[in-house]
């Protein structure tokens, strides 16, 4: 089952809320196969820079990239639909 939430242009969020900013104990860093923390620079080999910056940010509000907002604005619901059905084991 899917739930579709249709927002007007003015209701489309401009920022993500980053819960890490409000956590008393931030999560441990990502670990590589060797068990050592992976620096953000190493993540750039497989992830886009904007994604890496979001993942390592401690800012409370992170701007939503314009291409993502554009997809929601122009009704590209494939990217903006919340899937509410969970797969049962």
Greatest Cα pair distance in the chain: 47
Band (75; pLDDT cuts 50, 70, 90) = low
Q: How far apart are CA 68 and CA 78, in angstroms?
A: 12
**How high is the pLDDT of residue 77?**
53
**How high is the pLDDT of residue 83?**
47
Q: How far apart are CA 64 and CA 54, in angstroms?
A: 10
Higher per-residue pLDDT: 73 or 28:
28
Q: How far is CA 7 from CA 1, 30, 32, in A?
A: 20, 35, 40
11-70 pLDDT, tens per residue?
Answer: 888 999 999 999 999 899 999 999 999 999 999 999 999 889 988 899 999 998 888 888
> Which residues are bridge partners to 83 per DSSP?
2
**How high is the pLDDT of residue 12?**
84
Q: Which residues contact 26 (CB under 8 A, 6 or more apart)?
A: 20, 58
pTM: predicted TM-score of the whole model, two decimal places: 0.63
Q: Residue 86: is its pLDDT beyond 60?
A: no
């Amino acid at each position: 089952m899917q739930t579709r939430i249709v927002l007007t242009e003015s209701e489309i969020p401009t920022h993500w809320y980053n819960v890490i900013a409000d956590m008393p104990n931030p999560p441990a860093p990502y670990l590589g196969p060797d068990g050592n923390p992976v620096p953000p620079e190493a993540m750039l080999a497989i992830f886009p820079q904007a994604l890496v910056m979001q993942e390592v940010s401690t800012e409370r509000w992170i701007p939503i990239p314009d291409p993502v907002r554009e997809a929601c604005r122009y009704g590209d619901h494939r990217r903006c639909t919340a899937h509410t059905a969970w797969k049962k084991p």
